[in-house]
Structures are given as structure tokens and as C-alpha cells.
Amino acid sequence: MNQNINIDLKNVKNLECDECQSQTFEPAFIIKHISALMSPNGQETLMPVQLFKCTECGHINEKFLEGLTN
């Protein structure tokens, strides 16, 4: 079922960098190592996971790392 939801972006808060309060971010990646024991195909593999870093200071907000760090 397709639903069109209209959101007025003027009413939505911009996310800010926790360190410098910049509101601009760029893509970055962490690479997860998946052992052969955990891999669905039984082979060791690397999996890139995209997140975002601040364009001004390079900081990665904790919110972007939730569930991704050991």
C-alpha cells in the first residue's frame, strides 16, 4: 500500500553536529568484518555501512553510530 505523506520541511528541525553545531554532513563509511561463522554464505566478508560526518569538523554524532560500534 503506497501512502503519500506531505511533510512541510519548515516544521522539521535540522540535525546539528554535536561538536560544532554545523548543520551540514557528508557521507562516510565504517567497514564491518563479518566472520565466516556469522556470514550467511559461510565466507568471511567485509560490509561497508554508510553514516554521516560533519562537513566542518569531521565529527560523527553518536546518533549515527547507534548499533554500529562494538
> pLDDT of 26-41, one tens digit each?
999 999 999 999 988 9
**In which domain, by residue range, is 49 found?**
17-65
Q: Do the beta carbons of residue 31 and residue 46 sit within 8 Å?
A: yes
Read off φ and ψ for residue 24, nearest 5 degrees: -115, 140
Which carries the bigger pLDDT value, residue 1 or residue 8?
8
In a domain, 70, yes or no: no
pLDDT at 1 over 80: no
In a domain, 48, yes or no: yes
Q: Do the beta carbons of residue 17 and residue 54 sit within 8 Å?
A: yes
Residues 6 or more apart from 2 whose CB is under 8 A from it?
A: none
| pLDDT for the residue 49 | 95
Looking at the 3D structure of the chain, how many domains does it have? 1
This prediction's pTM:
0.75
